Amino acid sequence: MRIDCYISQGCGSEEALKENIARALEAEKIHAEVNIHRISDAKATELNLSGSPSIFIDGKELQPSGIAGFS
């Protein structure tokens, strides 16, 4: 499993995100390659991300745009 997390330069959630992912993986006894990417707002727009952080598991965004309840 591969987890890619895209975080804007000004977002302060990186440490909490890392901790939450580690806890979830441990609880589910899953091994994953976790990558944290700090990106500019321009890059986030280019990638059409739904927010910061945006999390992808094996290439699929967890919070895809256009879904009610997500901005």
pLDDT in tens, 1-28: 999 999 999 999 999 999 999 999 999 9
Say if 56 falls within a structural domain.
Answer: yes
Residue 66 falls within a domain, yes or no? no
Domain membership of residue 49 (yes or no) is yes
68 part of a folded domain: no
Say if 27 falls within a structural domain.
yes
What are the counts of helices (DSSP H) followed by strands (DSSP E) for the chain? Answer: 2, 4
Please report which confidence band the pLDDT of residue 67 belongs to, taking 50, 70 and 90 as the band edges: low
Question: Does residue 54 lie in a domain region?
Answer: yes
Count up the domains in the chain and report the number.
1
In a domain, 70, yes or no: no
Residue with token string 């890619």: 4
Provide the domain limits for residue 53. 2-61
